[in-house]
Amino acid sequence: RPSLVLVSKPKRGFLFEGGITVAYIMSNPSVLQAISNVTADLVASGGISKDRKNQQQGYTFRGVEDFLNALAPLLPKHGIVIVPRLVRRELFERTTAKGSVMYHVVAEYEFGFNATDGSSITVGPIVGEAMDMGDKAHNKTLSMAYKYACMITFCIPTSVEDGDGEAHETITHAASGVR
């Protein structure tokens, strides 16, 4: 049985802002200690900085490679193995302005954070969404979901101001009523 379950759709437990529900079943807290140890090491090293820049829209970000490089030495050090599980997937074909086919994939994953003593937690579902003109849209969804599962679970800090602090003004579209 899992020690801690994070789900984006409320099942049981405590509802937090953003729709993330935390359900505690404290049968074996060893995995929680291991996660805490990874978090402590990440904080001590300064976290994972947003050193990459999106050239089209100008924002900074942390790529999945940054997470893999930071976590690769820490996971075995603290006895954690992360195992993804695909929960749901939707595939859409889109046509680009130039008439090419683009694949749009939306997928939900759960991630098992497993300690070497057999204790574990499940984090998810975490949604990954990506588009690609070739065969990489599914891989991109997994990379995105993995990055966010790790960011949430290990509370990975960054020294850059969060872009979510920016307010956007919207207008109502008359045809659909959607804001």
DSSP string, 51-100: -EE-TTT--EE--HHHHHHHHTTHHHHTTEEEEEEEEEEEEEEEE-TTS-
Give the model confidence (pLDDT) of 23-35 as tens digits. Answer: 444 444 689 999 9
Mean pLDDT of 36-59: 84
| Range of weakest confidence among 22-26, 59-63, 138-142 | 22-26
d(CA 178, CA 20): 24
Give 55 or 105, the one with higher predicted confidence.
105
Q: Is 3 exposed, middle or buried (0-12, 13-18, 19+ CB in 10 A)?
A: buried
What's residue 170's pLDDT? 59
Share of the chain above pLDDT 70, in %: 72
Distance set, CA 67 to CA 9, 133, 143, 157 (Å): 25, 25, 10, 11
- As given in the structure block, the two tokens for residue 149 are 């599962």
pTM: 0.71
Give 142 or 5, the one with higher predicted confidence.
142
* Residue 74 scores a pLDDT above 80: yes
Mean pLDDT of 139-153: 91
Give 143 or 47, the one with higher predicted confidence.
143
Phi first, then psi: what are they for 111, rounded to 5°? -120, 125
Positive or negative torsion for Cα 5, 10, 11, 12: positive
Tallying the residues shown for the chain, one arrives at: 179
